[in-house]
Structure 1
Amino acid sequence: METDWIWGLVGGVLIGTGGAVYLLGNGRIMGASGILGGLVDGSGWKTAAERIAFLVGVVVMPLILWPLYNVGIETHMTKDVWVILSAGLLVGIGTRIANGCTSGHGVCGISRLSLRGIVATVFYILAGGLMLVLFRHVLEVI
C-alpha cells in the first residue's frame, strides 16, 4: 500500500475519532467552521473556552506530531499566493452557503445518516471537482 493511502487512513481515523469524542463529550456536532464562526460572530461565546481549546488543538497538534510524519511528503501545492488566498476565500464562502464544512457535514453528518449532511457533501464535492477542472484545465492557474 502506498504511504499516501496510509496517511489518508490515519487522518480519517483521527478526524472520525475527534468527531465522536466531541459529540459524546459535548452533545454537539464537530463542525470546524461552526466552531470558528461562533467565535467570530459572537453566537458561541457561551462555549468560548471549548471552542478555543478545539481550535488550539487543530493548530498545535500537527506541530507536535511534525517529527513523526516529516518524511518528505509532497503536496504539489501551488506557490502562487493569490491562488491560495482565492481558494481559502472560496472555501469560506462555500462553508457559509452550506451552513457547514467537511467535518460537520461530511464526517459527522454522513456518519449519522443526516440527509442534509449527505446532500451538502455531494454538492461540495461536485463543486470542488468543477473548480478543479475550471482552474487546472480551462484557466491553467493551478
Structure 2
Amino acid sequence: MTYELLGGALIGFAASLLWIGIGRISGMTGVVSSLFMWRDKTRHWAIWFLAGLVLASPVYFGLGGEAPVTMTDNQLLLVVAGLLVGFGTYIGNGCTSGHGVCGMGRLSVRSTVATVTFIVAGVVTVAVMNALGGAA
C-alpha cells in the first residue's frame, strides 16, 4: 500500500468519523472557525482535530517518512499565495478539504462545482508558472 493511498484512507476515515460522530464537516474553514468559539463546549472537538493535523507531520517524519516535494524560497510568492487562498476560501464558502472530501461525499452540487473550479485553477496556475520558468 502506498503512502498516498494510506493518507487518503485516513483523511476519509477522519472525515467520516467526525460526520458520523458529531455531525460536523471536517473542512478546515469550519475547524478553524470553531476554534474561535471556545466558550461553546460543543466546539472543543476542533482543538483535538487541529492537534491531530499538526502532529501528523512530525509523527510521519519520525517514523522515517520522506517528502520529495520542495517548495519555493520566495517569501513574497508564499505570502501572495496564502492571501489568495484565504480570499478564495472566503468567497468559495469553504476550502478544498471541505468541498472536495466532504461536500462531494455528500453529493453537493455546490461542492462539486467548487472542486472542479479548484482543479481548473490549479492546472492553469501550474501552466502559467511553468511558462514563466517555475516558482523558484
TM range (shorter): 0.7 to 0.9
How far does residue 69 in structure 1 lie from its aligned partner after superposition? 4.1
Structure 2: stretches of 5+ with no match in the other structure: none
Match of 1:99, SS state, is: coil
- Would the aligned equivalents of 1:23 and 1:30 in 2 still touch at CA under 8 Å? yes
What is residue 58 of structure 1 aligned with on the other side?
53
- Would the aligned equivalents of 1:39 and 1:45 in 2 still touch at CA under 8 Å? no
* Residues 1:98 and 1:139: Cα distance change in structure 2 (over 3 Å): farther
Provide the TM-score with structure 1 as the length reference.
0.82
Aligned equivalents of 1:130, 1:92: Cα separation in 2 = 19
Aligned equivalents of 1:55, 1:68: Cα separation in 2 = 20
How far does residue 39 in structure 1 lie from its aligned partner after superposition? 3.1
Is residue 86 of structure 2 the alignment partner of residue 129 of structure 1?
Answer: no
Match of 2:135, SS state, is: coil
Match of 1:30, SS state, is: coil
What is residue 90 of structure 2 aligned with on the other side?
96
Aligned equivalents of 2:70, 2:81: Cα separation in 1 = 15
How far does residue 85 in structure 1 lie from its aligned partner after superposition? 2.1
CA offsets 1:24-65 (integer angstroms, 9 cap, x no match): 11112111122113435x5x7524411111111110122123
- Would the aligned equivalents of 1:38 and 1:45 in 2 still touch at CA under 8 Å? no
Is residue 12 of structure 2 the alignment partner of residue 11 of structure 1?
Answer: no
- Would the aligned equivalents of 2:35 and 2:44 in 1 still touch at CA under 8 Å? no
What is residue 17 of structure 2 aligned with on the other side?
21
Aligned-residue sequence identity (percent) comes to 39
Is residue 100 of structure 2 the alignment partner of residue 118 of structure 1?
Answer: no
* Residues 1:45 and 1:35: Cα distance change in structure 2 (over 3 Å): farther
- Would the aligned equivalents of 1:105 and 1:120 in 2 still touch at CA under 8 Å? yes
Moved >4 Å (runs of 4+) = none
Provide the TM-score with structure 2 as the length reference.
0.85
How far does residue 107 in structure 1 lie from its aligned partner after superposition? 0.5
What is residue 30 of structure 1 aligned with on the other side?
26
- Would the aligned equivalents of 1:32 and 1:104 in 2 still touch at CA under 8 Å? yes
Match of 1:124, SS state, is: helix
**Aligned-residue RMSD, C-alpha:** 2.1
How far does residue 140 in structure 1 lie from its aligned partner after superposition? 4.2
- Would the aligned equivalents of 2:72 and 2:135 in 1 still touch at CA under 8 Å? no
